[in-house]
Chains A and B, each alone.
Chain A
């Protein structure tokens, strides 16, 4: 049985992968989460174009519109479908703009952390021995602190700003990537094609770059997706606690925090709708990442 498959794998492999792709992407959960993700991304990218108002243009925002309930008409005639906040900003527009900030921070930090983690993991796996021990102990130390605590301390020192939030999130996350990459790369490192490359006396850089990297990167694709969702929630938490992004460029987290004071006075929408948006985004990314994991792991997909 097994041997039959090996012998005919030459022409079945491609077909198998294509089949798995089709099968996976036609499943409702994949379609739903993927579609939602796509929509969210579009909203974030085109926020200035599709938002009914610009909530941060002080010339437009009027205090007269403060705390309008969802569906009420604002002073200048536009309908605030999701209501307005305490300063009279349209919640829908604020969500779209907030999404932009949230996604920017999450994607940037995930990517930078990925690159740093990838480098550290590959170097540790390739050189082994003391290099490996040294780098992995740093990773251990990093991972032994709760992410939110490290981020809080860092931001307290660095101050506010989108760039600072990204730096904090990178520092919090790189170690996870490093450890994952190392685990895969250490297996690949022992395979014979790496020995063959060593026999060709290629430089270490070339072996890492052309042989080790392409074969160790696939688990990271999934991890990066899931970590993006994670960094959105960390960022939201930080902003909610008031140490995240500056007040001039609020993210979903700061919007939730803004409305928190009004919840008891009945203006639930200021907190609720950004909260739902946050939940939907994170859930969509997580579900999509999970589907991706199943898809890329031949053991989980039959």
Chain B
């Protein structure tokens, strides 16, 4: 096989007022025709920077300081901008993470495809049109003639990504750089897109570089993998070999941090290599602490009980009832969670799982049905003191750590909010001490109190969110995809923390996720949701070993498995 792309000793650095950050140093990789190379690493490892460096699209203040990029016996670093234009988008295609933003929303798919074909292949008129239809067919879009006239918003996420792939293929490229191509997609769509890329790679003898943070994606699609850590490649090799016998400690810890879908383990393997072991904070003895004070009364065995919950959203408003359009987001959902249990809801996006969480939390009004927290009805009852008291025993951890904290408040003020409001601490000094303890307990350290949210990373922010929820001394915790925007290593830390807290405080957890392995590790029982209703409720082990419902089987089938080779 001939070398399609060869990168020798690439260095990229970003200079800022505070000094130069080496985003990539000394990276050498090769890609052959018909081969898929996985570039895997966590956020900030520099993997996207390599992709951008290949096509010379590093934005200032970033600069390639050293190294060569050879593409089909041409040194891309020596080409001028005009020559580069012929390579970029023609010989090297790009697929980006978010299909929503990489297509122009006000142009039809056809126009965008034709425009690209006109430019890259110099084909016009009928020839270009036929070429576009062919391309759409090859990426698996049905009825391409009709779809040519459609706008991007008329496509689903997966279909949009197919169109983006078609655009990337328009110039008959030899190399495709796919930057997190499936991160924004559902599991089942992800599987389809990965299959498509794989098939195209074989069919057209393309070289493909897949940039991803997801070990499962790499395991499914790549031939070889390069593991990146803080700007350098720590290990390169055959996928099966690397995944089964990793040598570098980072690769080992990265693999250990990926939640396993096959067996349930007590805790996630600790991965100190990644976070530098900085989170060895003093933990408090919860039972004797302020946090534990409220835990004595354990009257009810059932923490949450839901019967026939219904919620619809208005899609189209109208004066007359028959003209209104609704979307039934939640339909006749019933389940109950015993105190101290972790109950999972799993499903793809749009299945209504987050809506259920928000209905239980009282963030949305309930159309029909009953929600009881500790035997107290909270659905459609007037907000009196007792209802509010019961509701405040329920707290929520949100998906997006960047929007779930008020950026104008210091961490101390954020956590102090429930304590101040309900005057549970007694004195201001006591409160400060409690906040310090809480921050220690979630692994951030007392010093975090005086900082502001923007000074923290996603994982740290999620810890702040947890501390804020704890400050209200909850008995029920609703976690709405708490780790889906975090790196695997950080995810393992956060999930361990949640497990510990549950043990210490006997919390009841409603855990919502689309990620089956995470659900398997966290939950006692699981409900599978689809189109607003529950398909199946089962004990976690039973569900994973012998799913009853056909949809559960389907979900389990498409679950990315990296333990194939283990």
User: Chain A: residues with CB nearer than 8 A to chain B?
Assistant: 1-4, 6-13, 15, 19, 191-193, 195-202, 206, 210-211, 214-215
Contacts and interface: CB of A to CB of B under 8 A. Distances in A.
B43 A199 contact: no
Contacts of A195: 358, 361, 363, 396, 398, 404
Contacts of A192: 398-400, 403-404
Interface string B453-471: 0111110000001001100
B433 to A, nearest CB: 20
Contacts of B14: 4
B392 interface: yes
Nearest to B49: A1
A1 B465 CA distance: 27
B55 interface: no
A202 B362 CA distance: 13
A58 to B, nearest CB: 53
Contacts of B469: 196, 199
A126 to B, nearest CB: 14
B417 A13 contact: no
Interface centre among B62, B458, B468 (most CB of A within 10 A): B468
A19 B17 contact: yes
Interface stretch (B330-338, B405-413, B547-555): B405-413
B146 interface: no
A1 B52 contact: yes
Interface in B1-53: 14, 16-18, 21, 23, 43-44, 46, 48-49, 52
Contacts of A3: 43-44, 48
5 contacts: A3-B43, A10-B457, A195-B361, A210-B409, A215-B408
B406 A215 contact: yes
Contacts of A12: 16, 18
B210 interface: no
B23 A4 contact: yes
Contact of B421 (A13, A191, A196, A202): A202
Interface of B: 14, 16-18, 21, 23, 43-44, 46, 48-49, 52, 58-59, 62, 358, 361-363, 388, 391-392, 394-396, 398-400, 403-409, 417-418, 421, 454-458, 465, 468-469, 472
A19 B16 CA distance: 11
A196 B454 contact: no
Q: Which 3 A-B pairs have the closest CB atoms?
A: A7-B44, A192-B404, A214-B408
Given A10-B457, A199-B395, A15 B18 contact: yes
Nearest to B57: A1
B421 A200 contact: yes
B363 A1 contact: no
A6 to B, nearest CB: 7
A199 B396 contact: yes
B46 A193 contact: no
A199 B394 contact: yes
Contacts of A210: 406, 409, 417
B213 to A, nearest CB: 9
Contacts of B468: 196, 200
Contacts of A206: 421
Given A1-B59, A196-B404, A214-B406, A9 B454 contact: yes
Contacts of A8: 21, 44
A8 B458 CA distance: 11
A136 to B, nearest CB: 15
Contacts of A201: 388, 391-392
A3 B16 CA distance: 16
A200 B455 contact: no
A202 B46 CA distance: 42
B44 A4 contact: yes
Nearest to A10: B455
B417 A197 contact: yes
Nearest to A191: B403
A200 B418 contact: yes
A1 B48 contact: yes
A19 B18 CA distance: 11
Contacts of B48: 1-4
A103 to B, nearest CB: 30
Contact of A15 (B17, B52, B417, B421): B17
A192 B16 CA distance: 32
Contacts of A2: 48
